Amino acid sequence: KLLNDMYQLFENMLGQNMIKALPEDLRKRYLGLAEDLSTLDYDAIGEIFDENVPDHQRVMKETMKEFAEIFMRNRKFDPLDYPVEIK
């Protein structure tokens, strides 16, 4: 359950950051399409995002860093949860 929740959070953050990376006119167009999900399909999404997010890798990397910071701030680490055999 926790892993699934974490993945959903990451997906949401990545989607928001990809939308932020779009030029303003395309961002407005996409958000308009997203209001009526019946008009939104993979072709429409690809048409907007494929060529118009200038640096997909940078957006992904920054999102991963942001996610890791949130995770590290909110984690609870207890050494008893990770027993290591003494050799």
Give me the tens of pLDDT residue by residue for the chain, a chain 87 residues long: 777 888 899 999 999 999 999 999 999 999 999 998 888 889 988 989 988 998 899 999 999 999 998 888 877 766 666 666 665
Distance CA 27, CA 2 (A): 31
Distance CA 53, CA 67 (A): 20
pTM for the complete prediction?
0.74
Burial class (CB in 10 A: 0-12, 13-18, 19+), 87: exposed
Which pLDDT does position 76 carry in this prediction? Answer: 75
Distance CA 79, CA 65 (A): 25
Note whether 59 and 17 are within 8 A (CB). Answer: yes
